[in-house]
Structures are given as C-alpha cells and as structure tokens.
Structure 1
Amino acid sequence: MPVPEGRLVEDAADAWEAAQEIGLPVVVKPLDANHGRGVFADLKTRQDVETAYAGALAEGSGVMVERFIEGDEHRLLVVGGKLVAANRGDTARVVGDGRSSIRELIDLQINSDPRRGEEEGFPLETLLLEREPIAIHELQRQGYAPESVPPAGQEVLILRHGNMAFDVTDEVHPEVAAAAIQAARVVGLDIAGIDLVTRDVSRPLSETRGAIVEVNAGPSLLMHLKPAVGKPRPAGQAIVDHLFAAGDDGRIPIVGVLGRREPALLARLVGHLLRLSGRSVGLACGEGLFLDQRQLAARPCQHFDGGQRLLINREIEAAVIETSARAILAEGLPYDRCQVGVLTDADPDPALAEFYIDSPERLHAVLRTQVDVVLAQGAAVLNACEPAVAAMAGLCDGEVILFARDADAAPLEPHLEQGGRAVFVRNGAIVLAAAGNEEPLARASRFALTGAAATPAQLEAVLAAVAAAWALDVPVDLIPAGIEHFEQERAAAARATDAMGA
C-alpha cells in the first residue's frame, strides 16, 4: 500500500535522527490519537521536530515520525468493500488588516462562519487556539503569536489540515478508491475511514506521490452526511444496508423457555435439535451455559446475565434461553423479542411472595410476558392441558402451537379446526397435527423420556421441544433421531459423573 516511510521514536533526539534518516520535511504525530490532534506537518528543522515531539506525545502514548506528503488531506469512507463517500480538508488561514490580532482575525474571518459551532450538528468546529497546539506551532514558525497584528494583506496560515467538510466523492479516481478499499481489507475492517494525502484525488496516487496516512476504525459520518460544501452522502444507509441484507432484520432465532416443569431438560433438548440441524447454538439454562457441545459455566444460568452472555457472542446462530418468573420480576428478559416462546405451566411459586405475586391473576400477569414477546413471524408453544396457559393463546402476535400429553385436551380440537398446529400423544404415538392432517412422529416408547418410566413433566418437556423445533423448521425426520442422540449423550454424561464420584 502507498504509505509514508516512518517509524516510532523514543525521545526528541531520536525523532530528529529519524527525520534525518527519512529525509526532510517530515511529519511528527501521535501513535494513537484522533481528530488530527498532535499532528505536526512539513517540519524542516531540528527545533521544529523536537518541539513537535513534545506536542505529539501529549496527545498519545507514543510518537511517530513520517515522510511529509505534499497535498490536501482526504477522508474516504469505505463500507463493505465499496467507496461510499469522500471528503477533502482545507487549510485555515486569515488575512491581516493591519489593526486586528491573529486571535481577533480568527473570530472575524473563521469562527464567524455560520457553519461553525461547538455542537455536533455543525459541519465545522469552532477554531480555538487554546485547544490547538498545532496552530500555535504554525504561528511560531511564521514568527507570530496569537496576539500579533499582521500587516494588511498578509496571509497567515493557522492550520495546515482541517475543515474536513468538502465533499469530493464524485472526483475520486478509481485507482484511489481501490487503494482505500484494499487498505480497509488489509487491516480487517468492513467499515473504515481512510485518511490519505494527495494533491489531486482525481489522479492516481502514483502520479501525485500521495499516500495513505491513517485507517480509522470509528470514522466520523457527519462530514459526509452534512458537508459544508457539496452533496450529502447516505453514509448511514450504506452501513445499514451492509450489515443487514434486504429483508433481513438482523435477528437470530431465540427460543425463550418459561415454566417450573423440567425447563432445563426442555431447553437442552431444543438446543440439541437446533444444533443437529446445522446451527451454532448458545444455551443458557438451569444446568449451565453452553456453546454447542462446550459447557462454559456449570452454575445455573436461567437469569438475565446468562442470556446476555450468549447474545453478545457473534458466533452463535440461534439461542435457547431459559428464564423464570422470579428472573422476569427481578431483572427482566435478556432479549426484547423471541422467535419461539415456550410456556409449560402456571404452577404457583412460593418464592414470588417477595414480589407480592400471591394469586393466579398476578402470576398470569408475569407469565404472559413470555407470550407477549413472541415476534409476529414467530410462535408461542403452549401447554393445552393447562387451561391458564392455553388461555394465553390470544395474547400472541404470531402463531400458536399447542402441545398436550393427552389428545383429548379441550383446546386442541377448536385450535386445529381453525388451522393451528399441535403436538400430542395419541394411541402411544407422538403426533404432529396441522391442517386436518395427523402425522405420527415416533412411538412414545421409543424414547426413555416419553416411555412408560417417564414422568408427566418429562413427557411434556419432550413434546414442547418437538413443537419448538417444528416451529423453527427443523426437518421433521431429524427430530426422532435427535431425541435419541440427546438421550444417549445424557446417559453418557451421567455415567461419567458417576464414575468421577466413585
């Protein structure tokens, strides 16, 4: 990439030595800073270099000396491998009138511009010498101080680079754009502000001896959205379009699990089925925190922090998050909406007394949260054998899928007649029912968790997990094999635990 030669320096003397190695004039700048603070350019003497070293060090954790590139500073915004906008900086100068000091001239000729201000909405900043050591340095190099009165007609340079607010997007040469895009790619950024210096951005850098001087991971957008001169560019729209494909809301499928009957078993089985369908799955439940098959924490994680730890992990493609009525009351849910919300029961919980939840009506107001947050394109999975749970179907913005260990559960028939889906047990078989059709999934006796030795809560957990997987388009023929594989893994883990205990 075309970049200026340079290196880190240890002290003022080393800065001068580096300047001689590189060749004068040079630039002295902080290793890490922003907004151009501490960048001293076109330095030609030892005194200038050593003075600039002190100013640059005050703005960063280290100092670099680089070859000076002749030209104007430009900022090119690259988003997703495309040039979105380009801005040119301009020098700040005043012209003496023979009466006013330089400080007064700055207020009269620069800060009087209505486009300048202290608030973020202004495209240009107010120029205050007190916070611009570079400007003081430039004045000293010309033999002036802030209170000096230059002769009438005398032009005085205040800042060599600044006023980055002149749109030049349509002028950028394709080779210059390609260099900026490649710089972002080399650094590893999909959104980047590329600073380059060139005499003419409409010509290749090889012709102008221009160079890239900085890559910014957090580029300012205001200069492109509201330039002082030129056409505004839709920088924000470009970033949103890059991050979220057309029609994509940026969400991953989240399954929320709420209830007191085997919620951890249910959550783990749903996570297992999703993983077998080819997704990287995060799971937070009463048995710990999991990323695919790796357990990240063994302590109970059915709380806000457990869910949040999953949702900040960019690797996961789906999340299963168990919660409880107490966690909802004490902390809230770790997500705003979910693709699937599972509610297994409305059993009373003595632990909720501290929140004054002492009646079925008040408990209903808490439990309905899991149904309220289901997305319009999602589904609530509700227990048809629990009247208080089944009655929440009308609260769901999306589809409702009922599950029941008893095929004669009262809500099933009207729900199916209205075109709904359901999962239940009939004549010893787990059945998927929809649109007037019933499809046997597997014999209940095929699985330990639904066989004769299973508890009612275990059976319900499996039925709810099947319904959740069905709602998430897990292939139906994968579900029975997934349940068997899940039981085998649980049995192996139990044997390993027993062996360690022995």
Structure 2
Amino acid sequence: MRILDRSVYVGPSTFAHFPVIRLILDLGELESWPTAKLGKGFVDALVEALPGLREHGCSYREPGGFIRRMLEDEGTWLGHVLEHVAIELQNVAGEDVTFGKTRSIDERPGVYSVVYEYAQREEGIAAGELAMRLLCSLLPPAIRPADSVPEDWNWPEARDAFIRYAQRRALGPSTASLVKAAEERNIPWLRLNDQSLVQLGHGRFQQRIQATVTGKTSHIAVELASDKEETNKILGSLGLPVPRQELVQSVEGAQSAARRLGFPVVTKPYNGNHGRGISIRLTSPEEVAEGFAKAREHSRSVIVETFLEGDDHRLLVVNGELVAATRRTPGHVVGDGVHTIAQLVDEVNTDPRRGVGHEKVLTKLELDAQAEMMMARVEMTAASVPEKDRIIYLRSTANLSTGGTATDVTDIIHPDNRDMAIRAIRAIGLDVGGVDFLSTNIAESYKSIGGGICECNAAPGFRMHVAPSEGKSRDVAGPVIDMLFPAGTPSRVPIAAVTGTNGKTTTARMLAHIAKMAGYTPGLTTTDGVYIDGQRTVEGDMTGPVSTRMVLADPQIDLAVLEIARGGLLRAGMGVPSVNVGAVLNVQSDHLGMKGIDTLEQLAEIKRIIVEVAEDCAVLNADDPLV
C-alpha cells in the first residue's frame, strides 16, 4: 500500500467546494484484503485506537454506519478506511471536518482516489500519513507492507505527537473564536502566517487581528499593560484598587521588599504573561528566593507585591463594555483519604473535557516541578494520600493552559466591580483587555469587602469565556468583530472570475480596465502577471490560488478580476470559496491531456466549477454548446 500522488486543493475543485486533499492510493496486494477478510479483530483494534470512528455514519448516515460497513458482507477496502481515519485524526486534534469520498480508478485495479476534507494544510497531509501508518501497524505481519512501521513505533505517542503538531499549526482557541464570529457575519478571512495573524475582510475593507490584539489596539497600551509596575501606578493614581508593590533586581532586594510590604507576598516577572513565573502566598524569605528565581526566568526585573486574599477573576472588557467575567481556580485535586495525589491526578485527567494543550476545553494536569513545589509547601509528595475533601493545589496560578478550571460569573458580578474593570482598561487604553481581579466574592462591591487588580492584560485569552468548565458560554468574539466591522460596514470586494480556453486574458484585462475607468482600484490576476490598479506587480503565469490570495490581501483594491486557468483548477482548485460573477468564454481542444483531462466533456466539467461558485451571476457563451 503506497501513495502514488497527492494533491492539496485550497478551494473549490471538482471534488468539493471547500479545501480537500486527494491521494492516489495503490493498495497492491492489499486489494485482496477487504476489512471483512481482515476480520473483527482488525476492526476492533482500529476502533480501540480511534474510538470516535464509532460515530462515523458513512453511507448509512447514522452513528455506527462505518463500523457496520467494515464488517458486513465483504466489508470495504483500505482506501476507504484510510479516508475515515484521516478525518477522525483531525477530529481528535480539534478540527471540525467530516467530508470524504473514495472511489476506485477505472482500468487501474487496486488504485483508488481518496479524497478527504482538511482544516489546515500541513495537518491534513500529516493526518493522511499517520492514517497509513496506523492501518499498516494493525495488519497481520504476513501482509504488512515492508518498512511501513518502525520497530519502536508506539500509537499513543504518535497520536499525541500528531495532536501537538496540529495544535502548533492550528489557530488558537481565541483566534478561532474570532474567525468563527467573522464567518457567522459573512466576513471572509485569510490566514497571513503560521501563527495567529489573520486578515478579516478583503482589499481596502480589511482589518487584522493577531490572537485578540486588533489592528486598532494601541501599541502604547500594549506596552503599558506589559509594564506591570507602571500599570499599578496608573491605576492607583486613579483611585482603583491595586496591591502595593516594589520592583527589584536581586534576591536580597526581593527579600527586603517582602519584609517592608509584609508577608505573605507575590513575586512575578516585570513583563510576563499567561501566568508564567508567578508565585503567590510566599510566607518566608526562603520562599521569596525561590519565587524570585522562577520569575527571573522570564524577566530581568521582578515585582514583589502584597498578597491579596480572594479568588482569581478574569474580567473581559471589549470596546468599553464588560462582556464576560470568569472565576478561575488553579489546577488541583481533592483528597478522598484512599488514593495518592498521583492517582487523583490520573483520575482527574480521565475527564473527557481534558486534553493535550488547547485540544479540548480543559488541559490535563501534570506532576511537574511546579506541582512538586506546591506539594512540598504542604509537606506532601505525589505518593501522599490527602485526607477526604482536602484540596491540594498543583499550580500557583489559575490559567487554563496549566490545568486550571473556569466558572462563568458574568451574571452575578457587582456593578461596582464591573465599572472598576471598564475604568481600568480605559485607563490603560486597550480596545480589548482583561483585568485580573482578586475578590472573596465577585457579587459584592470591592468598596465594601476589599479586593484588588493584579494586572491588566493585552491579548486576553478567550477560551475560559467561550468554553468555561462551569456556567454559561459567552460570545466574547462577536463584540470584537462588531467593533471592527460596525453594522453596514463592507468587508468584501466584488469578485469576477473569467475562464475559457481562448480569450480569457484579454477579457479579464478589459474588465479590469473598465473598472478602473469607473473609479475602482482593481486587482487583476492573469497568465502574464498580477496587476494592482493597472500596474503589474508580479510577472509570470499568475492564475492560481497564490495570486488570488495576493490580490485579495492587497489593502488598495476594492474590486478583483481573476483569470482562472484549467491548470490551476486541476492542481489546487480556486483560491476563493465563491465569486460574484463567473464567466465561461469557450471550451476548446487546445489544452487536453493533463491530469486525466482527455476529452472536451471532461474539460467542460472543470470549467463548470466557476459557474457553481458564482453567487450573483453567470455569464455564458451561448454559441458554444459545451458552455
């Protein structure tokens, strides 16, 4: 079993109107081994490796349909199984993909066209490769393809490595929630790098986000939020509740500051984020020294501040309004008087909501150096058995990324606390900001029971609000998109696509020229280059998805004209999910014989894609019967 060819389609193609990967798969001798012949043991092992396959409906369109398909009659062939496994692997990594289609290729026995949907290109390719390896590993040794599975290969390790690989390339939960909110408002988007830089909208109507920092976020405000000492001073000068703090550069300075401020204290990096390097409730010079060393790993300067009693709350403010409030609890276990802390951690991690990294709503707990330090403070180890109902904290901070939990408290926050958070974010100057606020009861005013602001955060994470451990999910991304694109604000440029065997370059150039004369700034892709407002910016055959993306990302254009050639459609599909107007000029025999397109009828089917994705109008040459 081997992959003969792979094509990655970034947009509409003959296989689907969304991104898919197509493999040409040669089963070789395994053509004689459908799943029913491989037996129930093979199917059971496959489902044990990927339990989510039980939910695949396949042609039966109901959960369990795929399992039934594999076992009844002669079963199904491994190309079809690979399709489902590649889809399920992406599901396990957190992607919502469902489409697949496998067909045998005429006159090529044992060779199949395997098509499956993908969310991220590299992840989709890796899913196909890992699916191959998993299937080979489950085959009886006598028919297993040679060198298909390394001797030391381990499925759980390979699966987790794939999940981490996928998550490094996937949009983070905050960025993904913003993209989803944009899609719900019919706002197009383009990913501009491998991290979280995203363009929302096309051409001159575009806005950019990077995680939850927007193109409108003030650079001064971001720098100020990163400067915890200066933030503390500004908020304090406005009468907002903040702890007393001192900035230090040495262990001795930290210990002296702690004595002046009074124990217990907190140490944290001068300019950190995500709770990294923070130590709380330090009650002795020795603990301060440990906390200083930990904070120093993230910043040359360290802040020592008074410790405030209370629960950790994140108050999210968008465009001058508080949109969500969450109480955060550090990762912990609760004793039962029977099990060790290590066993309790394993039990907590069986929660199906916990996964690797940002794979799921919650992150798995780890017994690492920080957990050992927290246990040592209460004179325990991983082998200790805490008494019933005793809480053992394994983290000093409550971030979800380190195993913490989040409870939505938006509906009960006191109006004084709400106003305090809004004033704090306005004082820093952020359009999207998070206030970390300690309070023993968020439903009571800080003016009566105390509490204080630990810090203000630029680029606050949305995961705790979108998918809290307990309480109501909040739409926090929607207000951000509404701020960037107020009601009635355009986000799309008109797009025309022109295809045909002859004359499409001339037609596209004429159309762009007419648009320019009418006062538009057109972006044009053709077989001789990319043109922006009539000036060629890139030379060469530019009729594929890369040039389409180039035009739609240009901040000048307010209209796009795309010449669409059959070569680009066959290689990678269209570069945009839909167009406003699609024109097919003719279907001639000039360019047959590429990628299995040998007849005029097959060529007409390729050209038809442009008409299928034209939302408003199709312009067809009625003199050409194939058109």
TM-score bin, normalised by smaller chain: 0.5 to 0.7
2:282 matches 1:40: no
Which residue number in structure 2 is paired with residue 166 of structure 1?
A: 407
Which residue number in structure 1 is paired with residue 624 of structure 2?
A: 387
2:526 matches 1:289: no
Identity %: 28
Which residue number in structure 2 is paired with residue 448 of structure 1?
A: none
Q: Deviations over 1:21-65 (max 9, x none)?
A: 98862322484553x35421233544323322443466x576742
Which residue number in structure 2 is paired with residue 90 of structure 1?
A: 329
User: Is the alpha carbon distance of 1:178 and 1:212 closer, same or farther for their aligned partners in structure 2, counting shifts above 3 Å?
Assistant: farther
Which residue number in structure 2 is paired with residue 400 of structure 1?
A: none
Aligned-residue RMSD, C-alpha: 4.6
Q: Is the 8 A contact 1:22 1:67 kept in 2?
A: yes
Q: Which of residues 130, 136, 151 is equivalent to 2:372?
A: 136
Q: Which of residues 428, 442, 465 is equivalent to 1:201?
A: 442
For residues 59-208 of structure 1, what are the structure 2 equivalents within 5 Å? 60=298, 64-65=302-303, 67-68=305-306, 70=308, 71-79=310-318, 81-90=320-329, 103=341, 106=344, 111=348, 117-118=354-355, 125-128=363-366, 130-131=367-368, 133-147=369-383, 158-162=394-398, 163-174=404-415, 176-178=417-419, 180-181=421-422, 193-202=434-443, 208=450
Q: Deviations over 1:315-348 (max 9, x none)?
A: 6543222221222122221111101112333343
Q: Which amino acid aligns with 2:288?
A: V
Three-state SS of the structure 1 residue aligned to 2:620 is strand
Q: Is the 8 A contact 2:499 2:563 kept in 1?
A: yes
Which residue number in structure 2 is paired with residue 308 of structure 1?
A: 549
Which residue number in structure 2 is paired with residue 219 of structure 1?
A: 461
CA distance in 2, matches of 1:315, 1:144: 63
Structure 1 residue 353 displacement after superposition? 2.7
Q: Which amino acid aligns with 1:357?
A: I
Which residue number in structure 1 is paired with residue 288 of structure 2?
A: 49
User: Is the alpha carbon distance of 1:147 and 1:11 closer, same or farther for their aligned partners in structure 2, counting shifts above 3 Å?
Assistant: farther
2:499 matches 1:258: yes
2:580 matches 1:342: no
CA distance in 1, matches of 2:518, 2:444: 52
Q: Which of residues 552, 559, 570 is equivalent to 1:318?
A: 559
CA distance in 2, matches of 1:264, 1:125: 53
CA distance in 1, matches of 2:503, 2:253: 69
Structure 1 residue 88 displacement after superposition? 0.5
Q: Which of residues 374, 389, 392 is equivalent to 2:614?
A: 374
Q: Is the 8 A contact 1:252 1:317 kept in 2?
A: yes
Gaps of 5+ in 1: 393-502
Q: Which amino acid aligns with 1:307?
A: T
Q: Is the 8 A contact 1:225 1:235 kept in 2?
A: yes
Gaps of 5+ in 2: 1-233, 236-241, 399-403
Structure 1 residue 169 displacement after superposition? 0.2
Q: Deviations over 1:350-399 (max 9, x none)?
A: 4x433343432232122222222201xx1122345x424xx64xxxxxxx
CA distance in 1, matches of 2:597, 2:530: 29
Which residue number in structure 1 is paired with residue 571 of structure 2?
A: 330
Q: Is the 8 A contact 2:330 2:405 kept in 1?
A: no
Q: Deviations over 1:260-289 (max 9, x none)?
A: 555444434434554566655433333433
Q: Which amino acid aligns with 2:374?
A: E
Three-state SS of the structure 2 residue aligned to 1:89 is strand
2:452 matches 1:210: yes
Q: Which amino acid aligns with 1:138?
A: M
Structure number with larger C-alpha Rg: 1
Three-state SS of the structure 2 residue aligned to 1:165 is strand
Three-state SS of the structure 2 residue aligned to 1:73 is strand
Q: Is the 8 A contact 2:494 2:580 kept in 1?
A: yes
User: Is the alpha carbon distance of 1:78 and 1:321 closer, same or farther for their aligned partners in structure 2, counting shifts above 3 Å?
Assistant: farther
Three-state SS of the structure 2 residue aligned to 1:328 is helix
Q: Which amino acid aligns with 1:89?
A: R
Q: Calculate the TM-score normalised by the size of structure 2.
A: 0.49
Q: Is the 8 A contact 1:116 1:123 kept in 2?
A: yes
Aligned residues: 379
Q: Which amino acid aligns with 2:497?
A: G
Q: Which amino acid aligns with 2:312?
A: E
Q: Is the 8 A contact 1:256 1:320 kept in 2?
A: yes
Which residue number in structure 2 is paired with residue 363 of structure 1?
A: 603
Looking at both structures, which has the greater relative contact order when contacts are Cα pairs under 8 Å and sequence separation is at least 6? 2
Structure 1 residue 195 displacement after superposition? 3.4
